[in-house]
Amino acid sequence: RPASPDRAAIEAAAARAEKPGVAAGPRRTDRVRRDVAGDSDAKAKAKAEDSRRTGRLSLNQALDGEGGRQRSMAAMKRKQDRARQKAMGNVRPEKQVRDVQLPETIVVSELANRMAERAADVVKSLMKMGMMVSMNQAIDADTAELVIEEFGHKAVRVSDADVEQVIDTVQDKAEDLLPRPPIVTIMGHVDHGKTSLLDAIRKANVVSGEAGGITQHIGAYQVKTDSGAVLTFLDTPGHAAFTSMRARGAQVTDIVVLVVAADDAVMPQTIEAINHAKAAKVPMIVAINKIDKPSADPDRVRTSLLHQEVVVEKMSGDVQDVEVSAKTGQGLDELLEAIALQAEILELQANPNRPAQGAVIEAKLDVGRGPVATVLVQNGTLKRGDIFVVGEQWGKVRALINDKGERVDEAGPSVPVEVLGLDGTPAAGDVLNVVETEAQAREIADYRIQQTKDKRAAAGAATTLEQLMAKAKADESVSELPVVVKADVQGSAEAIVQALEKIGNEEVRVRVLHYGVGAITESDVGLAEASKAPVIGFNVRANAPARNSANQKGVEIRYYSIIYDLVDDIKAAASGLLSNEVRENFIGYAEIREVFRVTGVGNVAGCLVTEGVARRSAGVRLLRDNVVIHEGTLKTLKRFKDEVKEVISGQECGMAFENYDDIRKGDIIEIFEREEVERSL
């Protein structure tokens, strides 16, 4: 007598396998039935188990059952197969080997489903491996693969989850491909003339609109050369965006134009740019700028480029070089033609007749329009009404706005457009894919959110004790200055974080706890409080609850509109060199209730002072959806008909800005005074 019923079952099954046709009773097709012949005890037990099973509705029963749902085609086919095999005398049913799609993590019940096994059996087999998991828990792919093998199926690893498979990844046929314009990024050292050059090319002037000299908003523009070639230029705020986009897998640049000033030479950022271009394997064209200057010496630039292993054509190399002046416009046409020529060599192609795929160049939370993303279409055509996923967000294209600010119905390959209709702000570098239904889009977005959460959790868990110890040791001697950063656009946020992370030495470093786009919220303040960190707002403001909570908890919120100032302050704070500074104190807030047009004065805001006081002599800022729209001074402050010096909280008043007119109902006016105080970050 065998030691246990289990063993008996295995032996009996083995015996039966040798003598087909002996075993009786109902059969299940999808697994080897553990029938216990030859041992009456075990048989009775198995019977009892069977009858117990009938009480429960498993997926198999539900699908196979006569009463409930219709049989699937596959089930009918299986039944026919079975009948045929029986007729041929081969009674023993073949176990069906399935290809099981296996994503990076899978929930146990889903795994059972895909193998068409009972979830309980899967849990059991996991327990045998020493893993105590329930049906609703997720397991990793490696474990799942072992289980799949154990059940005799085949695991097919899919790199991303099945939900992502709805994204059209079909390779385009050669005959569908059409030429597309090249996408050009201009890089180079600061002040060598990137913005001026781009500007000269666009024949518009954006340099004057910059705060603090850094290009803070990424755009992209299309221009047409004299010979008719269309070129797309990316206007990125320096190299960080280029790399961070590449890090996220969005290689959007086809050609890099390296700007070097002729009166200067190869500088650190020039080298950085060369390295970026080389790493991305993108061809380079050297634009030797400021050739109009008397001190210009283009040959010196060419020679110094040699040290970086960039051999220009004039030095018998293969990198095109063009002498230009952004100021006089000299050589610009040649530069454009050089780019067009390079593009021709690259033979850039795309298929405009397929669902669009693109990359986010910049995304922001826009006043009044909600989340807006500038997307560069890379393949296919993006149309109004298209449903898409982009990173962890999804949406339906409500409107498309091209680089000239015009509404368009569609955008083809290499065309940059602003996309409206997102449910949240994506990140620069996120890939946009058009899908068929809203449900799919939402599912993919949800899945990706979960995925990043899982990854983060897994990464946290993956740190070994040794690593933790090492880190703790290193941390002992390093004091950290934690900060929370919020900005108006993703590009700025990233630029700030990168700049901040560079600050520091052996004794002190800056740690960015969190950064994001949009108004400062209570949760930011909460986070800052927990780590005793200040919150930094770049062109954004705290909303009212966040402000209150910051006041209560004593969390400092600092506002900036120039990156350099911000970095300098943090640097000073980090190195303990806090000198006295002119600091802003908020003395009040007023809400615009109505806007009146007064001849001779312009727009006058009818306001209610909601907090503190409004003072005629103070500085004012206009906030719309917590984003700074304008900063200046007041032209008038009126209570009824009289000009007054001060209006206190709860009272109504009329205000007009000096040299500024675009005020709207619902805007908030922030009133501040400057005072010299000791810095205390």
Footprint on this chain of ligand GDP (rule: CB under 6 A): 188, 190-196, 207, 289-290, 292-293, 325-327
The distance of closest approach from Cβ of residue 280 to ligand GDP in the complex, given in angstroms and rounded to an integer, is 20
- One-letter amino acid for residue 244 of the chain: S
CB of 335 to ligand GDP, least distance (A): 12
Q: Which is nearer to ligand GDP, 126 or 322 (CB)?
A: 322
Question: CB of 573: closest distance to ligand GDP in angstroms?
Answer: 27
CB of 191 to ligand GDP, least distance (A): 4
Q: Which is nearer to ligand GDP, 273 or 609 (CB)?
A: 273
Element (H, E) at 452: helix 438-462
Q: How far is the CB of 584 from ligand GDP (least distance, A)?
A: 28
Residue number with CB closer to ligand GDP (194 or 541): 194
Closer of 80 and 328 to ligand GDP (Cβ): 328
Helix (H) or strand (E) holding 77: helix 73-87
Taking a C-beta distance cutoff of 8 angstroms, is the pair 429, 244 a contact? yes
Three-state SS at 679: coil
Q: How far is the CB of 496 from ligand GDP (least distance, A)?
A: 17
Give the three-class secondary structure for 349.
strand
DSSP 381-449: BEETT-EEEETTEEEEEEEEE-TTS-EESEE-TT-EEEEEEESS---TTPEEEEES-HHHHHHHHHHHH
Beta carbon nearer to ligand GDP, 290 or 541: 290
CB of 199 to ligand GDP, least distance (A): 7
Provide Rg for the chain, Cα atoms: 33
Report the nearest approach of ligand GDP to the CB of residue 325 (Å): 4
Instruction: Choose between 121 and 292: whose C-beta lies nearer to ligand GDP.
Output: 292
In angstroms, rounded to a whole number, what is the distance separating the alpha carbons of residues 229 and 461?
Answer: 53
Q: How far apart are CA 361 and CA 419, in angstroms?
A: 11
At 561, give phi and psi (nearest 5°). Answer: -130, 0
Give min distance, CB of 309 to ligand GDP, in A.
23
Who's near 28: CB < 8 A, 6+ residues apart?
Answer: 60
Q: Which is nearer to ligand GDP, 334 or 529 (CB)?
A: 334
Residue 367 beta carbon to ligand GDP: minimum distance, rounded to whole angstroms: 26
Please identify, using beta-carbon distances, which residue of 133 and 190 lies nearer to ligand GDP: 190
Q: Strands 154-157 and 557-560, how do they pair? A: unpaired
Residue 557 near residue 531 (C-beta atoms within 8 A): no
What minimum distance in Å lies between the beta carbon of 183 and ligand GDP? 19
Q: What's the 3-state SS for 605-662?
A: EEEEEEEEEEECCCEEEEEECCEEEEEEEEEEEEECCEECCEEECCCEEEEEECCECC
Q: In this structure, are residues 591 and 668 in contact, taking their beta carbons and an 8 Å threshold?
A: yes
| Minimal distance, residue 384 CB to ligand GDP, in Å | 34
Q: Which of 450, 443, 444, 401 is closest to 421 using CA atoms? A: 401
For the CB of residue 208, give the shortest distance to ligand GDP in the complex, in Å.
10
Strand, helix or coil for residue 69: coil
Q: Two tokens at 616?
A: 């005629």
The C-alpha atoms of residue 166 and residue 296 are separated, in whole angstroms, by: 56
CA angle 389-242-564, nearest 5°? Answer: 110
| Cβ(169)–Cβ(237) below 8 Å | no
Closest CA to 60 of 49, 71, 47, 45: 71
DSSP string, 99-129: EEEE-SEEEHHHHHHHHT--HHHHHHHHHHT
Nearer to ligand GDP by Cβ, of 114 and 290: the residue is 290
Name the residue among 399, 429, 182, 167 with its Cα closest to residue 283. 182
CB of 189 to ligand GDP, least distance (A): 7
Q: Which is nearer to ligand GDP, 116 or 207 (CB)?
A: 207
Would you call 584 exposed, middle or buried from its count of C-beta atoms within 10 A (0-12, 13-18, 19+)? middle
Is the CB of residue 288 less than 8 Å from the CB of residue 324? yes
